[in-house]
Amino acid sequence: MTPTIRLGRLFGIEVGFNWSLIVIFVLVAWTLASSVLPGAAPGQPVLAYWLVGLAGAVVFFVCLLAHEFAHAIAARRRGMKVGGITLWLFGGVSQLEGEPPSPGAEALITGVGPLASLVVAGVAYAVAVAGATAGAPALLIQLAGWLAFLNLALAVFNLVPAFPLDGGRLLGSFFWWRTGSRQRGVRDAVRVGRVVALLMIGLGLVELFVGSIVSGIWIAFIGWFLLSAAGAELAAMEVRTTLRSVPVSAAMSSPVVTVPEWIRVEDFLASAASQHHFTTYPLHALSGELTGVVRLRDLLRASAADRAAMTLRDLARPIAEMPRAHPEESLGVVIERVGSALENRVLVFADGNLVGIVSPSDVARILTLRQALASRHPRAVA
């Protein structure tokens, strides 16, 4: 879901959409204009069907956004960071960073999404009924009725108890509350979700042979999607749990080699860079004070002319912009805090001294090591 187009900010939350959404937009507008509306309100001009169809597709996305904003706003109220909202093929996704503070908080953050869809469905239904009694244009009444049905379907579909749907998360928070452990809660909910996914695949196959081919394939496809999502959810959970038990000091590259900021890029690449195996070098000024950080990758990207003319300082990231951590902090907590800034490295300070650097490859290395150890002694980490 990475190639995202930014739409803007609303309530301080970044909203974007994925290219796959354009397919859905066209499909929704086309379905409305060519079959739903002509079937429900016949005898109107083709242009009217298309205008109302396009408006319907836009309102459909507003409804998806209402669902996601309910999640995002509830999460922010419970102290979680919201990375943004992305609309894509299967609806919307709110990027919530970190984990909810309690099972109750998770149930609330999750439950408000389907609830918002239900409320929108109720409002759309009321509009359709009021429109019909007031003698509003037939197309608008039909559009409101269609939106009521769609939002009801959205709420019901999202309550299917399988990850990554809201139903799966609600079940996870219930098991978390029962067992006292979020990890166990997710694991139990994933187990239920797998059964649900397999049942959907089975149902899809039956439908394929005795009923409609299209809906059979569609149900089986969603089942397959939920089955693979269950595995991904579990893997992400294990990674988070593992990283949380590791202190920053175990993952960081240490000791750190700092280099003078006034060295020319060309000279540095010819000498110092080939002596060490580091990918990141902090820079110091004449006074010994740290001023910035260069990544080998950024130096190698510079043109030959720039390498000859520039000093390391010219290509450095200022020290004040670098994310920092303490050696005794949990690696998992640090990663949740810095997010994608890990790509630029995290500097580890103890008593004001730079004692290490954490890069994504350091994290990958410790993760592989710990998971290999855990699989040899499964009981020790359960």
Nearer residue to Zn ion within complex by CB, 107 or 335: 107
> Of 376, 345, 380, 377, which is closest to residue 363 (Cα–Cα)?
345
Give the count of beta carbons closer than 10 Å to the beta carbon of residue 375.
Answer: 9
> Of 240, 1, 231, which is closest to residue 97 (Cα–Cα)?
240
Minimum distance, C-beta of residue 122 to Zn ion, in the bound complex (Å): 17
166 touching Zn ion, by CB under 5 A: yes
Residue nearest to Zn ion (CB): 113
Nearer residue to Zn ion within complex by CB, 150 or 315: 150
Minimum distance, C-beta of residue 106 to Zn ion, in the bound complex (Å): 12
Among the listed ranges 99-107, 123-131, 163-171, 193-201, the one in contact with Zn ion (CB under 5 A) is 163-171
Could you say which of 16, 56, 84, 113 contacts Zn ion (CB under 5 A)? 113
Minimum distance, C-beta of residue 113 to Zn ion, in the bound complex (Å): 3
Pairing outcome for strands 324-325 and 346-350: parallel
Nearer residue to Zn ion within complex by CB, 233 or 261: 233
Pairing outcome for strands 259-260 and 280-284: parallel
Q: What SS3 state is found at 181?
A: coil
Among the listed ranges 152-160, 193-201, 267-275, 349-357, the one in contact with Zn ion (CB under 5 A) is 152-160
Among the listed ranges 72-80, 107-115, 261-269, 287-295, the one in contact with Zn ion (CB under 5 A) is 107-115
| ∠ CA 269-273-275, rounded to 5° | 130
Nearer residue to Zn ion within complex by CB, 151 or 158: 158
CB neighbour list of residue 274: distance below 8 Å, 6 or more residues apart: none
Minimum distance, C-beta of residue 101 to Zn ion, in the bound complex (Å): 19
Among the listed ranges 112-120, 142-150, 257-265, 367-375, the one in contact with Zn ion (CB under 5 A) is 112-120
Interacting residues with Zn ion between 188 and 207 (CB under 5 A): none
Q: Is 328 a catalytic residue?
A: no
Pairing outcome for strands 91-97 and 81-88: antiparallel
Nearer residue to Zn ion within complex by CB, 150 or 335: 150
161 touching Zn ion, by CB under 5 A: no
Helices (H), 159-212: 166-179, 182-210
Beta bridge partners of 350: 353
DSSP secondary structure string for all residues of 3-16: -EEEEEEETTEEEE
Per annotation, catalytic residue among 68, 106, 207, 261: 68
Among the listed ranges 53-61, 76-84, 95-103, 162-170, the one in contact with Zn ion (CB under 5 A) is 162-170
Note whether 131 and 141 are within 8 A (CB).
yes
d(CA 356, CA 253): 5
Nearer residue to Zn ion within complex by CB, 113 or 131: 113
Binding residues for Zn ion, rule CB under 5 A, total 3
Minimum distance, C-beta of residue 252 to Zn ion, in the bound complex (Å): 37
Minimum distance, C-beta of residue 117 to Zn ion, in the bound complex (Å): 8
Long-range contacts formed by 283-287: CB under 8 A, 24+ apart: 283/258, 283/259, 283/312, 283/313, 283/316, 284/258, 284/259, 284/260, 285/261, 286/260, 286/262
DSSP secondary structure string for all residues of 276-321: ---SEEEEE-TTS-EEEEEEHHHHHHS-HHHHHH-BGGGGPEEGGG
Joined together, the tokens standing for residue 287 give 């006074």
Note whether 97 and 82 are within 8 A (CB).
yes
d(CA 42, CA 38): 5
Nearer residue to Zn ion within complex by CB, 164 or 260: 164
Compose the 130-149 pattern: x for residues touching Zn ion by CB under 5 A, - for all others. --------------------
Note whether 160 and 65 are within 8 A (CB).
no
Minimum distance, C-beta of residue 73 to Zn ion, in the bound complex (Å): 13
Contact residues: Zn ion, CB under 5 A: 113, 158, 166
**Enzyme catalytic residues:** 68
